[in-house]
Amino acid sequence: MQEEGGLYLDFDNDPEGIISRTVSIMVISLDTTSDVLPDPLLKDLFDKTNPRDANLDQVFMCELFDALYTTYHFLKGLPENDLDEAEFNKIFFSWHILLWVETLRRAKVVSVTPFPIFDFDNLPDLQIDLKLDKSVLSALMN
């Protein structure tokens, strides 16, 4: 799968390319909103019809998050921040939920305004700001 302009390649063939291209989007602007993420990226991350190994998907998502989180700290001029497991999980799961919310927003399942997707210091609060109520969360589970 390739988006116009060759921005994204298929997850199965180029996971490192997806990571570097996503980091490139962040480098252009830390204020990037969720609606700017390429459709193929979200499709590759959440395509339930692809018979990939779920454990490999989880490893890839953690690698993608780690690359983005490290780049975020570098771009903000912050010291490298080694997260303990609980803090990593809190931020990672918040980010993962927000990627799902963007996928559902595009499918017109939920109605939310596009939001900053790389603001890792504020992701848990952003979930509250978006008022992710039970209707949104139930859509995530289905």
pTM here is: 0.73
| Pairwise pLDDT comparison (81 vs 127), residue with the higher score | 81
Q: What pLDDT sits at residue 2?
A: 39
Q: Is the pLDDT of residue 118 over 60?
A: yes
CA distance 120 to 65: 10
Instruction: Please tell me the predicted confidence (pLDDT) of residue 4.
Output: 42
Residue scoring higher pLDDT (130 or 79): 79
Q: Is the dihedral of CA 84, 46, 28, 10 positive or negative?
A: positive
Q: Residue 116 forms beta bridges with which residues?
A: 33
Supply the pLDDT for residue 40.
Answer: 74
Q: 37-58: per-residue pLDDT in tens? A: 888 777 766 665 555 555 556 7
Structure tokens at 99: 């990627």
Q: Which tokens hold the place of 110?
A: 């939920």
pLDDT class of 131 with cuts at 50, 70, 90? low
Residue for token pair 């931020």: 91
Would the pLDDT of 106 be above 80? yes
The whole-number pLDDT of residue 9 equals 43
Mean pLDDT across 65-71: 88
Q: What's the rounded mean pLDDT across residues 102-116?
A: 86
Collect contacts of 63-71 with beta carbons under 8 A, ≥24 apart.
Answer: 63/15, 63/19, 64/18, 64/19, 64/22, 65/91, 65/92, 65/95, 65/96, 67/19, 67/22, 67/23, 68/22, 68/23, 68/26, 68/118, 68/120, 69/120, 71/23, 71/26, 71/27
